[in-house]
Structure 1
């Protein structure tokens, strides 16, 4: 019995049909790169201190009202306290000179009763300065990012199952609409609470749209074109959108204007509904053979080739209809020992990669004095990372390539704590190497995961793995806050996770040079390295076949 790739070989790999699907789906990921990390600028913390109202103070006392503190060996103005204003007013009225007639350290301090003054040297406004997310409310700043990634987590989990149930195309466009609409309505948020609710729903569609586009293209395209699409095409367009973000933020320094600019490009993709088809693989898995054949015949017409009179053989069609009688769910990912081992390892690796990727990406505003340059460097390093992932997927083992890139990301972060303070550029370079490793690994794991699972579970599996990755992204904002306790603690945690994940990746099945599995039985036939933690008594072949048809 021919597999899907052999059956559709008459289309060729790079006709007008494949070219249109390739470029349109790649272009759809540009808004993802533009929007997913906009929170770096929208929720950044400007320099700030307590407001000192005009109360007949001399200039000397006006400047001295904010205490000086030592933070990380440097002197800076206190962000959350000031000297008691009534005391300062009396001392100023009596003609005392601060620091000469009065020892400032002896004065009593109070909180910022009149609010805060925020620097506008970098930003005109962020949600931090708009809603005063500082001092006692500072926990809301990283929690804002976490709420966003929780939305991404929920969207990734449910969109995968919805896509396997109702089709790739409807979920792709539905999540794109959710992403665009809620990114737009955030602009009108009157409070932090309302903003956070809208941000959560924006996250529902953000990466879910990316995953749906990824799976749709992976199933429509074949051969080396599929590898090019999954490892370089969508990823490179995501990086292009990411590199555009600091440019937008530089010219639009108000958070509302930036979000407006991020949301509007989504409207350009409405016409894609009439240009992008449903996945024929998914239609076949649901027994909708006539619809699948109609798409392939239209593709043959666009490619100017002749389609066979009967594309899918009758016995193959009957078997596919039988398979379509049962809808698969996320429970199928842990039903048998082989599939369960693959799923558990992938979830660990995805969690690590996402924690590292978003932890380092959200930390860009702290790398140098100019967050725009730091963000651009963080985005630009993704371009060689995606090129490297494409070359690795094209010519080398999936298993070994993924393990090596994750290992590279982890080791480089370990070395940061060995760099002397006199060489800050070297620390930045090592952090960029870590970002390179995590980005390269993420690109490969998207392709690797899609190749390991059969059509009936592919989007559910990808959605589940990205759900675990979003758990990592949810923890990333708070992980980077651990540097307040020990500067290198976030790097040590990320490095340890990366090395453990690199080792676990070696026990995954190999998929290099093999066709996409269509059934769970075909997935069971993939060879893997033996792992004592997961290896069980081999399931009899008859039982495997029975379980795959349940």
Structure 2
């Protein structure tokens, strides 16, 4: 049977049709960049202290009512405690002054019974100040991000299955609308619990539309256009959206106005429903040959080329229709070689996600200004995606991913060796680790899409992304390991990177091979190349079948 790429080769690579699909699909990724990390600002904890009622307290006791504590070598007001107000009122009524007549260190303290006063130097308001997620309720602040990523996890699984069942295009637009609608609804949330429920629903569409968009473009485009789209297009779309986030946040200091600005652009993509096509490759996998040919003929008209009378032919018989391939998620585990590939990919996705989000959360503290910190963390992704584009074009997939893990692992392990006096070098190594995690994520999207057949491509990508979301859920806890040892987070992330090298070398290679259209074609990928001392043992357990 003639493969899809050969069947549509007459369209060329960079015609008007391909350019339209390329840029419109890339534009739909922009809300992902802003939405994925908007919680950095929306749920940030501003400086705060206990509310002190004005009644019966002199100015001096008003100023001294909140005890001080040492934070990073500096004295700052305690955000969760105050001196007992009944004692302060007695001192004030008797004309006693703090420090001179009364030793403050000996006074009894109490919780903030009257609420808190939040600083507006950086933010006008955040979810934390809105719902008082401080002190005894502080555990709700990191849990908020975890709930969002749990929504992403669930959405990644179901969107992949639905996209393989009902098509890439319906799921793409459904998840765009879900993300926009529930993000907008968060503004009216009356409580933290309702806000989290809406945030979870927003997460259902956040990365799901990214995966659907990625697979849709990968299946429509061919040749160099596919490589550019997979390695650069969607990734830069995400990075540009990420870089605009601190710009929006800088001018919109209220979490509600920032959420509104992030949610509204999602509705602007609705008219693209009548412009963007469904994946012809997916239509063919469902036996809908007529619809697939109609899309390709329209593309030929846009590119001003002549389409053959019969576009999708079977090499054995011109009258035989394109065979229907129907799969479900269980097909990922039925065949031994496919199951091993899936398990190894899931581990690599998990490790990269922990590293990416762990470093992203940590680099947000690189500068005292959170807007500059976020921008620096976003900017480093641009050269990472550019280098990834070159790697996808010229390097075998396994070699490129292994190089990423080696770079990341060595950089993270080396941070603990840097003297405290050379802070700039430590920051540079951490940014190098973020560079590797970003490039590796981009490589894995392309690698995963190339390994699986059309009927399973979105399901497999969704499963891998779903597993990676478990990594994003635990990443904040990995960062918190620094309470035991300053460099323990870097050692943990570096160890994950190094362990992933072993998993990567057992994956099949897909470099310069056409996209598989059936499980049989997937199983014919070349087997892993290993040192001869291990080749016999591997051949008995994890070798992927090879036509050679």
2:78 equivalent in structure 1: 78
Decide which moves more: 479-488 or 186-195: 479-488
1:25 equivalent in structure 2: 25
Label 1:132 to 1:289 Cα distance change in 2 as closer, same or farther (>3 A): same
Q: Once the 2 structures are TM-superposed, how far is the Cα of residue 448 of structure 1 from its aligned partner?
A: 0.7
1:159 equivalent in structure 2: 159
Distance 2:256 2:468 in 1: 29
Distance 2:318 2:46 in 1: 62
* 1:79-128 Cα shifts (integer Å, max 9, x gaps): 21111111122123223332333322221111111111111110000000
Q: Once the 2 structures are TM-superposed, how far is the Cα of residue 508 of structure 1 from its aligned partner?
A: 1.1
Return the TM-score normalized by structure 1.
0.94
Return the TM-score normalized by structure 2.
0.94
Distance 1:39 1:540 in 2: 42
Q: Once the 2 structures are TM-superposed, how far is the Cα of residue 486 of structure 1 from its aligned partner?
A: 3.3
SS for the counterpart of 2:69 is strand
Distance 2:409 2:455 in 1: 34
Q: State how many pairs are aligned.
A: 541
1:452 equivalent in structure 2: 451
User: Residue 22 of structure 1 contacts residue 217 of structure 1 at CA under 8 Å; is this kept in 2?
Assistant: yes
User: Residue 337 of structure 1 contacts residue 534 of structure 1 at CA under 8 Å; is this kept in 2?
Assistant: no
* 1:16-50 Cα shifts (integer Å, max 9, x gaps): 11111111001110111111110100000111111
Q: Which sections of structure 2, spanning at least 5 residues, go unmatched?
A: none
Distance 1:429 1:174 in 2: 40
1:404 equivalent in structure 2: 403
Distance 1:165 1:316 in 2: 28
User: Residue 231 of structure 2 contacts residue 385 of structure 2 at CA under 8 Å; is this kept in 1?
Assistant: yes
Say yes or no: does 1:204 pair with 2:204.
yes
Say yes or no: does 1:346 pair with 2:351.
no
Say yes or no: does 1:56 pair with 2:66.
no
2:284 equivalent in structure 1: 284
Label 1:85 to 1:468 Cα distance change in 2 as closer, same or farther (>3 A): same
Say yes or no: does 1:443 pair with 2:462.
no
User: Residue 284 of structure 1 contacts residue 320 of structure 1 at CA under 8 Å; is this kept in 2?
Assistant: no
Q: Once the 2 structures are TM-superposed, how far is the Cα of residue 175 of structure 1 from its aligned partner?
A: 0.6
User: Residue 145 of structure 1 contacts residue 477 of structure 1 at CA under 8 Å; is this kept in 2?
Assistant: no
Label 1:538 to 1:56 Cα distance change in 2 as closer, same or farther (>3 A): closer
Residues 370-409 of structure 1 mapped to structure 2, 5 A cutoff: 370-409=369-408
User: Residue 48 of structure 1 contacts residue 116 of structure 1 at CA under 8 Å; is this kept in 2?
Assistant: yes
2:515 equivalent in structure 1: 516
Say yes or no: does 1:368 pair with 2:367.
yes
1:466 equivalent in structure 2: 465
Q: CA RMSD in A?
A: 2.1
User: Residue 364 of structure 1 contacts residue 371 of structure 1 at CA under 8 Å; is this kept in 2?
Assistant: no
User: Residue 148 of structure 1 contacts residue 199 of structure 1 at CA under 8 Å; is this kept in 2?
Assistant: yes
Distance 1:243 1:82 in 2: 40
User: Residue 161 of structure 1 contacts residue 463 of structure 1 at CA under 8 Å; is this kept in 2?
Assistant: yes
Distance 1:424 1:303 in 2: 54
Q: Once the 2 structures are TM-superposed, how far is the Cα of residue 539 of structure 1 from its aligned partner?
A: 9.5
2:419 equivalent in structure 1: 420
User: Residue 402 of structure 1 contacts residue 505 of structure 1 at CA under 8 Å; is this kept in 2?
Assistant: yes
* 1:414-461 Cα shifts (integer Å, max 9, x gaps): 223333333433333222111111000001110011011111111111
Distance 1:323 1:274 in 2: 26
